[in-house]
């Protein structure tokens, strides 16, 4: 079933005339696909069908990401960097990592850069600022409706002046309600108008994620990535793939610990953690 779209993708990759594309191996065999891989972007997951419960979706995806984790464990480089895009991305990344015990857990990540980019562009639009002048918005937690897009640590340049985002927007009700809902529900908004999931913006965010992980983040800036929650200082339980602010250097990410968290944020950070704990229980039974 995947062969038709795969063939089409190869034709498009050829047509892109990408200077760094030297060879394409088109295969539906996981071991062939992951052999000696340095980076894997896992985009294929089973979407929710009519009448399907979240638990059914997690069970179906657990099978896919278990098989991919096992193949990665067997044939990929032990230094492989894995980005999971297919939903439920955070828990799928945790499942793949669980079945790849010979690869460090920190090498499995999930995409929340798409949510970060969405949040940045909403703020830029609101303030008539440029997207590159909006920095350090954090996405906490799950790539789902419970995610928490947090502007409290962010800055923006408006009319040549650098300001905290909260000061520049000067509308806490908007930031704590309409803005949050817009970013949280953006994936659904796209599905409702296009009748399919985001594609171009998701692909672009995946490139941003892998680029920054590999090449490093800019000095003084952080980005959001779903990463293993062990050793975070935000009271989030360990062994979840949870989106945190991270900085990347020499091909490694590190959680930016020590950001001040107010009461409102604490509740949001906890609510999305609770959802991930529930997903983990459904998918892995613990």
State how far the Cα of 223 lies from the Cα of 109, in Å rounded to an integer. Answer: 13
- Selected binder of ligand LMR within 190, 259, 261, 284 (CB under 6 A): 190
87 binds ligand LMR (CB under 6 A): yes
Shortest reach from residue 226's CB to ligand LMR, in Å:
12
Q: Residue 64 or 156: which CB sits closer to ligand LMR?
A: 64
Instruction: Retrieve residue 74's tokens.
Output: 């067997």
Shortest reach from residue 253's CB to ligand LMR, in Å:
21
* Number of other residues whose CB lies within 10 A of the CB of residue 67: 13
Active site residue 211: no
92 binds ligand LMR (CB under 6 A): no
State how far the Cα of 92 lies from the Cα of 69, in Å rounded to an integer. Answer: 10
Closest of 99, 68, 110, 92 to residue 210, by C-alpha: 110
**Judged by CB under 6 A, which stretch of 91-99, 150-158, 195-203, 274-282 contacts ligand LMR?**
195-203
Shortest reach from residue 48's CB to ligand LMR, in Å:
8
- Selected binder of ligand LMR within 30, 59, 197, 232 (CB under 6 A): 197
State how far the Cα of 154 lies from the Cα of 68, in Å rounded to an integer. Answer: 36
Q: What angle do CA 243, 201, 70 make, to 5 degrees?
A: 55
**Judged by CB under 6 A, which stretch of 176-184, 196-204, 225-233, 240-248 contacts ligand LMR?**
196-204
Q: Residue 92 or 247: which CB sits closer to ligand LMR?
A: 92
| Inter-axis angle of helices 54-75 and 89-98, nearest 10 | 40
187 binds ligand LMR (CB under 6 A): yes
Say which residues have a Cβ less than 8 Å from residue 44's Cβ, sequence separation at least 6: 2, 64, 86
Contact residues: ligand LMR, CB under 6 A: 87, 114, 187, 190, 197-198, 202
């Amino acid at each position: 079933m995947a062969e038709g779209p795969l063939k089409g993708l190869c034709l498009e990759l050829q047509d892109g005339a990408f200077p760094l594309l030297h060879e394409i191996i088109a295969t539906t065999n996981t071991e062939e696909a992951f052999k000696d891989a340095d980076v894997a972007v896992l985009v294929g997951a089973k979407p929710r069908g009519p009448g399907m419960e979240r638990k059914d979706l997690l069970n179906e995806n657990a099978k896919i990401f278990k098989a991919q984790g096992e193949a990665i464990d067997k044939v990929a480089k032990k230094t492989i960097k894995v980005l999971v895009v297919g939903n439920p991305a955070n828990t799928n990344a945790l499942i793949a990592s669980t079945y790849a015990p010979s690869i460090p857990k920190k090498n499995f990540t999930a995409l929340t850069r798409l949510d970060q980019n969405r949040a940045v562009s909403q703020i830029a639009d609101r303030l008539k600022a440029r997207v590159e002048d909006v920095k350090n918005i954090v996405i906490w937690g799950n790539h789902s409706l419970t995610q928490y897009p947090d502007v409290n640590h962010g800055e923006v340049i408006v009319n040549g002046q650098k300001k905290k985002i909260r000061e520049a927007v000067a509308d806490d009700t908007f930031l704590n309600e309409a803005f949050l809902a817009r970013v949280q529900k953006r994936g659904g908004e796209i599905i409702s108008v296009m009748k399919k999931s985001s594609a171009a913006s998701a692909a672009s965010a995946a490139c941003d994620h892998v680029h920054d992980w590999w090449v490093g983040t800019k000095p003084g800036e952080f980005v959001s990535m779903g990463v293993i929650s062990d050793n975070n200082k935000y009271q989030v339980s360990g062994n979840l793939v949870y989106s945190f602010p991270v900085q990347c250097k020499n091909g490694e990410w590190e959680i930016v610990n020590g950001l001040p968290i107010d009461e409102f944020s604490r509740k949001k950070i906890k609510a999305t953690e609770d959802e991930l704990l529930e997903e983990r229980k459904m998918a892995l039974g613990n």
